[in-house]
Amino acid sequence: MTGFSVTVPKNIEEALGLLEKWGRNAAVIAGGTDLVVELKDKVKSPKILVDIGRIPELRGISETEDGQVWIGALSTHCEIASSDMVKEAAPALAEACAFVGSPQIRNRGTIGGNICTASPAGDTIPPLYVFEASVEVRGPNGTRQVPIESFFEGPKKSVLSPQEIVLGVKVPKLGKEYVSFFRRLGQRKSLAISVVSVAFAGKCEGPGLFSDVRVALGAVAPTVVRARTVENALSNTKLDPKTLESVTKLAFRDSVPITDVRGSLEYRRDMACNLLYEGLLNMMECPKAG
Ligand SMILES: Cc1cc2nc3c(=O)[nH]c(=O)nc-3n(C[C@H](O)[C@H](O)[C@H](O)COP(=O)(O)OP(=O)(O)OC[C@H]3O[C@@H](n4cnc5c(N)ncnc54)[C@H](O)[C@@H]3O)c2cc1C
């Protein structure tokens, strides 16, 4: 790590002022679990770290006036995984946060950091896609809401400018008839980046019947992707274990996976289909639908 100084703004305006003054020489730091690795590897060499960890407006999980769940950027994976509000409104997101890293990483790493790192393997991102969440961003020109699917431009690339801060995410609440899940595969159960991950949300119309199906795949393309072909095939189709197996094979159609040290292209494609199949098999009886 090269020399840098750390500054701890007390509020958002102060943080934005520092980002404007220092431009590309500044880096925001939240939990530091991604950034410190990049500093050590000299991937980034900022002159100043803007530590947003003491800004109260970035904390907390609450309900907005229009009935969405607002999750502050500084919410840790641990806080999200144990939040009753998230577990009720967005179970797949709580499940994904419970999978991240290890207890230490979950206590330190934040949802804001996970989104801003913009990794296609970031575990909170597929659930945010299926809940059609939006990212709340503040910059010199005010606050903007970015639909999660429009936030990412490629691996480690997003629409966030160096002068902007993510304030939080807004997750629309789905009705009680909706079910959701998150599944991932890593090289081992903990402390391993996802080789492939799947999030699902859909409205249970009866045993084996879903409408408004949303499926997102992680680590199979330069960004997380919605698997629209399989979504259409699953929606309003009466499923039994056999048909489910053939329909979930369509999951790979919307992915362009790569081969790397963690898994081959073919393995990722097959596992995306298998994770979706396995997760949906558990949902066939519509556990939450009265
Ligand atoms: C051992 C280990 C295991 C891990 N396991 C997993 C895993 O299983 N799944 C997974 O998804 N990730 C994993 N990670 C990655 C990391 O822990 C998560 O991405 C975490 O959520 C990052 O949050 P952070 O607060 O630590 O981010 P930081 O490191 O503080 O920041 C990350 C990036 O986001 C920017 N940033 C942070 N917050 C904001 C904000 N509010 N506004 C603007 N920019 C911001 C920073 O400038 C930086 O570029 C792991 C990391 C380690 C070291």
* 151 secondary structure, DSSP code: H
Percent of the chain with pLDDT over 70: 96
- Of all atoms in ligand 1, which is nearest to the CA of residue 34? 29
Mean local confidence (pLDDT), 236-243: 91
Residue 188: band (very low, low, confident or very high) from pLDDT cuts 50, 70, 90:
low
Q: Is the pLDDT of residue 263 over 80?
A: no
SS3 152: strand
pLDDT at 290: 40
Q: Is the pLDDT of residue 289 over 50?
A: no
Question: 108 Cβ partners below 8 Å, 6+ apart?
Answer: 31, 32, 33, 76
Tell me the CA distances in angstroms from 40 to 2, 37, 45, 100, 288, one per residue in order. Answer: 8, 5, 9, 21, 46
Q: Is the pLDDT of residue 231 over 70?
A: yes
Contact 15, 55 (CB under 8 A): yes
Distance CA 77, CA 100 (A): 7
Distance CA 89, CA 133 (A): 12
Mean local confidence (pLDDT), 163-170: 98
Q: Is the pLDDT of residue 193 over 70?
A: yes
Which of these, 118, 132, 102, lies nearest to 216 by C-alpha position? 132
pLDDT at 288: 53
Q: 78 C-alpha to center of ligand 1: Å?
A: 13
Mean local confidence (pLDDT), 180-205: 86
Q: Is the pLDDT of residue 186 over 80?
A: no
The predicted-structure confidence for 34-78, as pLDDT tens digits, reads as follows 999 999 999 999 999 999 999 999 999 999 999 999 999 999 999
Task: Kindly give the residue spans of alpha helices, DSSP state H, lying in 157-248.
Answer: 228-234, 241-248
pLDDT at 109: 98
Ligand 1 binding pocket (C-beta < 6 A) is 27-35, 37, 52, 73, 100-101, 105, 108-110, 112-114, 116-117, 122-123, 165-166, 191, 193
Q: Both ends of the chain: CA-CA distance in Å?
A: 56
Spell out the domains of the chain, with CATH numbers in brackets: 5-54 (3.30.43.10), 56-172 (3.30.465.10), 178-281 (3.30.390.50)
pLDDT at 27: 97
Q: Is the pLDDT of residue 287 over 70?
A: no
Number of helices followed by number of strands (H, E) in the chain: 12, 14
Ligand 1 pocket test, candidate residues 8, 18, 34, most atoms within 8 A of CB: 34
Q: 34 C-alpha to center of ligand 1: Å?
A: 4
pLDDT at 49: 98
Considering only CA atoms, which residue is closest to atom 12 of ligand 1? Answer: 122
Distance CA 26, CA 255 (A): 35
* 67 secondary structure, DSSP code: S
- Of all atoms in ligand 1, which is nearest to the CA of residue 190? 8
Percent of the chain with pLDDT over 90: 81
Q: 224 C-alpha to center of ligand 1: Å?
A: 16
Q: 231 C-alpha to center of ligand 1: Å?
A: 29
Lowest mean pLDDT: which of 54-58, 117-121, 130-134, 190-194? Answer: 190-194
pLDDT at 136: 98
Contact 252, 273 (CB under 8 A): yes
pLDDT at 217: 95
Considering only CA atoms, which residue is closest to atom 38 of ligand 1? Answer: 113
Q: Is the pLDDT of residue 96 over 50?
A: yes
Question: 70 Cβ partners below 8 Å, 6+ apart?
Answer: 60, 61, 62, 63, 64, 136, 168, 169, 170, 171
When the pLDDT of each residue in the chain is averaged and rounded to a whole number, the result is 93
pLDDT at 1: 62
pLDDT at 98: 96
Considering only CA atoms, which residue is closest to atom 4 of ligand 1? Answer: 101
The predicted-structure confidence for 2-22, as pLDDT tens digits, reads as follows 689 999 999 999 999 999 999
- Of all atoms in ligand 1, which is nearest to the CA of residue 44? 49
Ligand 1 pocket test, candidate residues 70, 105, 106, 182, most atoms within 8 A of CB: 105
